[in-house]
Amino acid sequence: MLRKTVSIDEELFLALKKEGILDHFKNFSELVSSSLQHTLESMKRENYKRQIAQMVNDPMVVEDIEEIEEAFKYADSEPDAV
């Protein structure tokens, strides 16, 4: 476990206390760790979405997709076998 000192706005702390947020965690460190983990996961998702959006304009990716579509065009048109 890494130890770091955290400073937060007093009004924010009072709001957390008033809303009972602190009651959901064993201690303040657990709240901070949980919040940071949530932020990390959220930012990873956003970065992933941004990377996917950028791929639309990548000529190599577009070419790969076209090649795959061409390779599977006959299989895609077959009715599902049961």
Give the pLDDT confidence score for residue 16 in this predicted structure: 96
Average pLDDT of every residue of the chain:
90
Where exactly are the structural domains of the chain? Answer: 10-75
Least confident of 30-34, 61-65, 71-75: 71-75
Of 59, 58, 6, 10, residue with least CA distance to 35: 6
Query: Does the global pTM surpass 0.75?
Result: no
d(CA 5, CA 14): 18
Kindly state the DSSP code that residue 79 receives in the 8-state scheme: P
Please write the tens of the pLDDT for every residue from 22-43. Answer: 999 999 999 999 999 999 999 9
Q: Residue 64, CB half-sphere, CA atoms under 13 Å: how many?
A: 7
CB 31 within 8 A of CB 16: yes
